[in-house]
Amino acid sequence: MLLIILWLIQDLLTVFTGGGMQIPGVFMLGLVYRLLVDDGTESEDSLWAIWSAFAAGILWDLRWVGIPGFFTLGYVIVVMIVIQVWGAIPPSSRGASGTSLIVFALMEVSQMLPPLLPVLILGGSAGWNFFLMQQIYSLPAILFCMYIYLHHVRNNKV
Residues 37-87 have pLDDT tens digits of: 886 555 567 899 999 999 999 998 888 777 788 889 999 999 999 999 999
Name the band, by pLDDT with cuts 50, 70 and 90, for residue 22: confident
Which SS3 state, helix, strand or coil, does residue 97 take? coil
pLDDT of the residue at 157: 62
Residue 36 lies in a domain: no
For 59, the domain range is 42-156
Residue 119 lies in a domain: yes
Mean pLDDT of 19-40: 83
Residue 35 lies in a domain: no
Name the band, by pLDDT with cuts 50, 70 and 90, for residue 133: confident
pLDDT of the residue at 92: 80
Residue 78 lies in a domain: yes
Mean of the per-residue pLDDT values of the chain? 86
User: Which of 35-44, 67-76, 86-95, 118-127 bottoms out in mean pLDDT, i.e. has the lowest?
Assistant: 35-44
Residue 77 lies in a domain: yes
Task: Give me the number of domains the chain comprises.
Answer: 1
pLDDT of the residue at 44: 62
For residue 101, pLDDT beyond 60: yes
Residue 82 lies in a domain: yes
Rounded alpha-carbon distances, angstroms, from residue 58 to 73, 79, 104, 149, 154: 9, 15, 26, 28, 36
Residue 13 lies in a domain: no
Residue 147 lies in a domain: yes
| Angstrom distance (rounded) from CA 37 to CA 23 | 24
| Angstrom distance (rounded) from CA 35 to CA 33 | 5
